[in-house]
Amino acid sequence: MKVAEPAAVAVAYNEIKSRAESRWRELANGDKPVIMVGTATCGRAAGALQVLKTLRNEVKKHNLDCPVVEVGCMGHCHAEPIVMIKKPGYPFISYGYVNPVVAERLVKEFLLGDDPCLESVLGALEENDLVPSLADFPRAVYEKKIILQNCGQIDPTDIDHYVARDGYAALARVLQMPPDDDVINEVKKSGLRGRGGAGFPAGQKWHACRSTPPGPRYIICNGDEGDPGAFMDRAILESDPHSVIEGMIIAGYAIGASYGYIYVRAEYPLAVARLEIALRQARKLNLLGKNILGSGFSFHIRLFQGSGAFVCGEATALAASIEGKPGTPRPKPPRMTTEGLFGRPTVVNNVKTLAFVPPIIRNGAAWFTSIGTKDSPGTAVFALAGKIANTGLVEVPMGTTLRQVIFDVGGGIPKGKKFKAVQIGGPSGGCLPESALDLPIDFDSLQDAGAMMGSGGMVVLDEDDCMVEIARYFLEFTQRESCGKCTFCRLGTKQMLAILDDITLGQGKEGDIDTLLQLAEDVKLGSLCGLGKTAPNPVLTTLRYFKDEYEAHITEGRCPALMCRELIAYYILPDKCERSCDACVGTCTVEAITPNKKRIKVIDQEKCVKCNTCLVACPPQYNAVIKLSPPSEVPAAK
């Protein structure tokens, strides 16, 4: 590698930067209004594309000079589609739950008229006297955005937006450093730990790879996010792809690699499309490719689309998949850093890990270690899902407690229900009960509690969730996603699932809990790869914290959460049932409900298929339909 020419790099970067800044100023600080629409997958699922179309049509119809820009995910996924409007004379306002009708009004009333449509406001993006700002929300107290900083704020398909917000500044700085250990030392000092789940120190991994004999090395960005309920990597790739690309180039420079792969699931078509655009734009500006910014350093990135195997998120299986072989893991060692892709030293980093690299280089390791805890510096990104008021993406400093994330940031449990457990770390993680809520979130404390940080999925469960069923659900996932190579994962998870199936169907036997526990321990210890080793975690943690629920299923035939269909029965309370109401009779799918002589409705338990329709249909002022478990609780008909 040619020695870098610091001056030339700085000149080349400044040229790109000043052009980007002038374009950004024109858009953001000009005197014309700007509309931004969040069109990441979460927004699209809620109908953002129709909103976008309506807004564009309206703007065109009224001949407004107002750019309509697509941006990524702001993290308030529960309020999608989100539209942000900056109109001169007004604060930067975001609107939630926008539909085409609201969109039309926003143009007519706000842009053409002077009514900021306060009834649709989500919050302002800056302090002002007109509308409460998002920074005043309870969640803002805890949130600290580092890698989500640009998400929802910039057009991910426009590299200038990223550059204008200090994008590629870290790369330019790194390229002016000598290609020795400086960059790695900075990352090491920052204490950055891998965000894929295991929390291995990134600097150490880079160092191990760099210390190998000279020859081709690779860097792989692991975007094979497959946990049910997790969408952090997707959101970042869709909303701020350049941050990941920049992190990768820096990593490449640090470890002496000239090729990198971004491994993304093919099920993330929008992420793939936006990455392709981002790569093209980076190449065009010579931020990627041969002789980057005249530094003499060349780096190329290829996009590889995985075919949707969960196990391909495991580094060795991922490498095998890129090589064109079946995506099955191999035993380690040799580690990836010594023998990885095509048998060459390879660093595999998660999307989020790489996205942390540019801010660390820009602000220094000391800044990064000042955030979070001593052993887990920085922030953690979580995808909040399940029984929580504000589903969405949050970024909080490590060390924040689970309670703060769920109740303050996430807004607690909806419908006044009671919190039961939080499933953290996806199918490899565990279910933690209320007593664990005050645990600080970091890599080590969660592990001690039996869960793991995982890549950031957080599914909140309330009193209506049966823990046996939850364990069964996650195990069914890992069992289905097992590659089948090793005995414990292929057959062990299948056996465990068979036991859990039986328990939830009311066919559990005495001794099942013991067998389940033994198998779970053996699968955890004996499996070949990380998927198998962590697959029993949901079972182990639910057995540890909610063993009474398992026992109730087996010994009493009772599902305490009234969730397992075979163990419950529907019953209409005669005192509450209204004589003149027939709501349940009409909706019952199998004609199992008939009025008795007093016109009180009675369910024929033989006919009932437990479809839940009557419970939904019974008007709230009566609430006469209830679930009972075990089914023998239903009083005999008189």
Return the residue of 330, 335, 403, 610 that touches another protein, per CB under 8 A.
330
Q: Which two tokens stand for residue 198?
A: 């295991």
Beta carbon of residue 203, minimum distance to another protein (angstroms, whole number): 26
The closest alpha carbon to 387, from 229, 232, 234, belongs to 229
Give the span between the Cα atoms of 199 and 93, in whole angstroms.
Answer: 37
Give the span between the Cα atoms of 340 and 363, in whole angstroms.
Answer: 31
Tally: H helices and E strands in the chain: 26, 18
Beta carbon of residue 490, minimum distance to another protein (angstroms, whole number): 6
Beta carbon of residue 229, minimum distance to another protein (angstroms, whole number): 21
DSSP letters, 183-203, are: HHHHHHHHT-B-TTTT--BHH
Return the residue of 479, 534, 541, 613 that touches another protein, per CB under 8 A.
479
Beta carbon of residue 338, minimum distance to another protein (angstroms, whole number): 13
**Considering only 143-151, 485-493, 578-586, 588-596, which stretch makes contact with another protein by CB under 8 A?**
485-493
**Considering only 137-145, 188-196, 325-333, 350-358, which stretch makes contact with another protein by CB under 8 A?**
325-333
Which of the 8 DSSP states describes residue 30? S
**Footprint of another protein on residues 294-313 (CB under 8 A)?**
309
* Of 46 and 486, CB closest to another protein: 486
Q: Residue 292 in contact with residue 252, Cβ under 8 Å?
A: no
Give the span between the Cα atoms of 475 and 438, in whole angstroms.
Answer: 27
* Of 145 and 330, CB closest to another protein: 330
* Of 490 and 576, CB closest to another protein: 490
Question: Does residue number 331 form part of the binding site for another protein (CB under 8 A)?
Answer: yes
Beta carbon of residue 528, minimum distance to another protein (angstroms, whole number): 6
How many alpha carbons fall within 13 Å on the CB side of residue 287? 29
Beta carbon of residue 469, minimum distance to another protein (angstroms, whole number): 19
Question: Which residue has tokens 């000239």?
Answer: 258
Identify the H or E element spanning 85.
strand 83-86
Beta carbon of residue 350, minimum distance to another protein (angstroms, whole number): 24
Beta carbon of residue 307, minimum distance to another protein (angstroms, whole number): 11
Give the span between the Cα atoms of 577 and 625, in whole angstroms.
Answer: 8
* Of 320 and 608, CB closest to another protein: 320
Q: Which two tokens stand for residue 138?
A: 């309870």
**Considering only 52-60, 231-239, 422-430, 479-487, which stretch makes contact with another protein by CB under 8 A?**
479-487
Q: Which two tokens stand for residue 557?
A: 């035939």
Q: What is the 3-state secondary structure (H, E, C) of 452-504?
A: CCCCCEEEEEECCCCHHHHHHHHHHHHHHHCCCCCHHHHHHHHHHHHHHHHHH
**Footprint of another protein on residues 487-546 (CB under 8 A)?**
487-488, 490-492, 494-495, 498-499, 515, 518-519, 522, 525-528
* Of 364 and 526, CB closest to another protein: 526
Q: Which two tokens stand for residue 624?
A: 């006469």
Beta carbon of residue 492, minimum distance to another protein (angstroms, whole number): 6
Beta carbon of residue 199, minimum distance to another protein (angstroms, whole number): 19
* Of 491 and 626, CB closest to another protein: 491
* Of 153 and 482, CB closest to another protein: 482
Return the residue of 222, 482, 504, 542 that touches another protein, per CB under 8 A.
482
* Of 256 and 530, CB closest to another protein: 530
- At residue 459, what are phi and psi to the nearest 5 degrees? -110, 120
Cα-Cα-Cα-Cα dihedral sign, residues 140, 144, 145, 147:
negative
* Of 525 and 616, CB closest to another protein: 525
Return the residue of 34, 483, 539, 569 that touches another protein, per CB under 8 A.
483
Return the residue of 484, 579, 599, 619 that touches another protein, per CB under 8 A.
484
Beta carbon of residue 333, minimum distance to another protein (angstroms, whole number): 8
Strand partners, 303: 262
Q: Residue 187 in contact with residue 203, Cβ under 8 Å?
A: yes
Beta carbon of residue 324, minimum distance to another protein (angstroms, whole number): 14
Q: Which two tokens stand for residue 189?
A: 């000092």
Beta carbon of residue 193, minimum distance to another protein (angstroms, whole number): 23
Give the span between the Cα atoms of 136 and 124, in whole angstroms.
Answer: 9
Q: Residue 343 in contact with residue 193, Cβ under 8 Å?
A: no
**Considering only 159-167, 204-212, 228-236, 484-492, which stretch makes contact with another protein by CB under 8 A?**
484-492
- Whether the upstream peptide bond of residue 81 has omega within 30° of 0, thus cis, is yes
**Footprint of another protein on residues 91-120 (CB under 8 A)?**
none
Return the residue of 486, 503, 552, 569 that touches another protein, per CB under 8 A.
486
Number of residues that bind another protein (CB under 8 A): 29
Question: Does residue number 326 form part of the binding site for another protein (CB under 8 A)?
Answer: yes
Q: Which two tokens stand for residue 124?
A: 């302002």
- Whether the upstream peptide bond of residue 334 has omega within 30° of 0, thus cis, is yes
* Of 518 and 596, CB closest to another protein: 518
Q: Enumerate residues 6+ apart whose C-beta is below 8 A from 553.
A: 468, 503, 504, 506, 508, 559, 564, 567
How many alpha carbons fall within 13 Å on the CB side of residue 119? 6
* Of 235 and 519, CB closest to another protein: 519
Burial class of 270 by CB neighbour count within 10 A (0 to 12, 13 to 18, 19+): middle
Beta carbon of residue 334, minimum distance to another protein (angstroms, whole number): 9
**Considering only 351-359, 367-375, 416-424, 482-490, which stretch makes contact with another protein by CB under 8 A?**
482-490
* Of 22 and 307, CB closest to another protein: 307
Question: Does residue number 211 form part of the binding site for another protein (CB under 8 A)?
Answer: no
* Of 276 and 502, CB closest to another protein: 502
CA distances 149 to 48, 278, 486, Å, are 21, 18, 42
Residues at the site binding another protein, with contacts judged by CB under 8 A: 309, 326, 330-331, 479-488, 490-492, 494-495, 498-499, 515, 518-519, 522, 525-528
